[in-house]
Structure 1
Amino acid sequence: MPLVHIAMRSGKSDAYRQAIFDGIYRAMRETFSVPEDDQFMTITLHDAADFRYGASYFGIARSDDLVLIQISAMNTRTLEQKKALFATIAARLGENPGLRPEDVFVNLIEGARENWSLGHGLAQYA
């Protein structure tokens, strides 16, 4: 039940943004065993003045096409699954919409199963 928040600079087409959604979802299905239709994602667009990043932090040459991806998920995945997720997201977004791997920044936030309510005010996984 991942929850995905994506931040990026304004100016990209609807098709470009939909390709980001699709690529991340495919990567989660392939590496995290996310069920079909488990898609809860948002994209927030920012003007240049409201989007700051380290252009060369950690020796990675980033551009204004940088996409910040934050995924909240249950703490049930292995280190190997997490590494596969990061690599697969970069690969899928490289295929479409053509993002460079240097411009794919992923942050995974994990929490306990009982911390999720999917609706009706219930803790479905508790």
Structure 2
Amino acid sequence: MPLAHISMRTGKTEAYRQAIFDGVYRALRETFTVPEDGQFMALTEHDAANFRYGATYLDVARSDDLVFIQITANNTRTKEQKKALFRRIAELLSENPGIRPEDVFVNLVEVEKENWSLGLGLSQYA
């Protein structure tokens, strides 16, 4: 049950934003075996003055369509699963809503299972 925070520039349609949610969730289900209904995501839009990035850092040509996707998840996945997740998110977002792979920036934050409370003040995974 990962938690995804997505940040992007303002100006895209609701359908565009929903396609990002759908693609990230599908990639998590396919590569991290996230259960059905294990969908916890938030998307924040920023105007140009509040969204900054390295346009060519590491020789990746980014545009103003850049999307930051930060996923917090248990530290139980293999390196192969992580690579598959990054690749699959880029593939799916390229298909719909049409984001160039260069504009898909993913950061994975891994935590211990006991660092979650999914409600009721309980530590469900501890």
Counting only pairs closer than 5 Å after superposition, residues 24-43 of structure 1 correspond to structure 2 as: 24-43=24-43
Question: What TM-score comes out, normalization by structure 2 length?
Answer: 1.00
For 1:70, what is the secondary structure of its paired residue? strand
SS in 2 for 1:118: coil
Structure 2 Cα separation of the partners of residues 28 and 92 of structure 1? 11
Cα displacement string for residues 6-60 of structure 1 (whole angstroms, at most 9, x for unaligned residues):
0000000000000000000000000000000111000000000100000000000
Equivalent position SS for 1:89? helix
Q: Secondary structure at the match of 1:105?
A: strand
Instruction: Report the TM-score when normalising by structure 1.
Output: 1.00
Q: Which runs of 4+ in 1 moved over 2 A?
A: none
Q: Which runs of structure 2 are paired with 1:1-126 in the superposition (5 Å)?
A: 1-126=1-126
Count of residues paired in the alignment: 126
SS of residue paired to 1:5? strand
1:17 match: secondary structure: helix
- Tell me by how many angstroms 1:77 deviates: 0.2
Q: CA deviation at 1:89?
A: 0.1
CA distance in structure 1 between the aligned counterparts of 2:53 and 2:44, rounded to whole angstroms:
15
Identity %: 74
Partner-residue secondary structure (3-state), 1:68: strand
- Give secondary structure in 1 for the equivalent of 2:39: coil
| Alignment root-mean-square deviation, CA | 0.3
How many Å separate the matches in 2 of 1:114 and 1:10?
35
Q: Deviations over 1:48-92 (max 9, x none)?
A: 010000000000000000000000000000000000000000000
